[in-house]
Amino acid sequence: MSHAFLTAAFYRFVVLDDTEQLRPQLLAQCQAQQVKGNVLLAHEGINGTIAGPEAGVRAVLAWLRADPRLAPLVHKEAWATEDPFYRMKVSLKREIVTLGVPDVHAATEAGTYVSPQDWNQLIDDPDVAVVDVRNDYEVAIGSFQGAIDPHTRSFSEFPQWVERNEALLRGKSKVAMFCTGGIRCEKSTAYLRQLGFDEVYHLEGGILKYLETVDAKDSRWQGDCFVFDERVSVGHGLQPGDHHLCRSCRRPLDAADRASPLFVEGVSCAHCHGSTTEAQKSAYAERQRQMERAAARAEQHVGQVFSPPPAAAP
């Protein structure tokens, strides 16, 4: 089966002081190219994922890079047989990734990039605090050997974790942080530098670039990496993992999770079964039936999009 849809994920920390003017222009450009997805604009930069015909996606990326501020924009590509988005949204936000701390300037104050090829040498140093800045459910399915897990449910909880564990971090000569694609660790290094940490490093391109470029036999990565698309998780070489997504709470589920009596396809899992009402479960079950009927007709189901329970929100 041919892969008809190109997906491009991108972000860049850069001062954008004209987001209100940029928003309708970008939306019109995407619509003209039959491109769908979700893009966030803020004073601190841009963060988005778009998908559509290859020519259309590349045209939108070229349009963005025609702006000198976005000329260095780097994107990651993936292919899909179905359009992963139902509509195009361009939203104005306070932050392109929510830390919740004012005046953190990742565009100018981020830590030092470390390439995937040099990452092993850095994190093998016992005097380096290696911190995984992703959410707890992401860390649960894979991380770097010996990395610290802050057990945060969202990135906005990271400053509170730092406050409680500042002595631990200052007890090392360096701090190295990583995340899926680089955006969270880039901002978290700027936050630590704002607190007075000098030697702060982050993995260039994130875990995905490391898994793509570092040979499995040399890798310090253990497990799978959660991704925010229909692959759910990937391993070395970005090969799809064995995790499925709970359509209720959006957590990755392994074989043991799916064997739980509390797991119902499209409705609930052991993580969220007790946090949804019977009315919600009934609505999720109806959505699952409609999706199965659409799949049987080789159609894409476009139905109501439900928000996950608050406790499980990323």
Q: From the candidates 179, 185, 246, 272, give the one annotated as an active-site residue.
A: 179
Helix (H, G, I), strand (E, B) or coil at 258: helix
Distance, in Å, from the CA atom of 209 to the CA atom of 276, rounded to the nearest integer, reads 36
Distance, in Å, from the CA atom of 58 to the CA atom of 7, rounded to the nearest integer, reads 10
Beta bridge partners of 5: 80
Catalytic status, residue 225:
no
Find out whether 133 and 158 touch, Cβ atoms under 8 Å: yes
Distance, in Å, from the CA atom of 106 to the CA atom of 98, rounded to the nearest integer, reads 12
Find out whether 162 and 192 touch, Cβ atoms under 8 Å: yes
What is the rounded radius of gyration, in angstroms, for the C-alpha atoms of the chain? 20
DSSP string, 163-219: HHHHHHHHTSSEEEEE-SSSHHHHHHHHHHHHTT--SEEEETTHHHHHHHHS-GGG-
> Directed axis angle between helix 19-32 and helix 54-65, to 10°?
160
Q: Decide: residue 301, CB within 10 A, 0-12 exposed, 13-18 middle, 19+ buried.
A: middle
Distance, in Å, from the CA atom of 191 to the CA atom of 177, rounded to the nearest integer, reads 12
Closest CA to 6 of 43, 64, 76, 57: 57
Which residues carry out catalysis?
Answer: 179
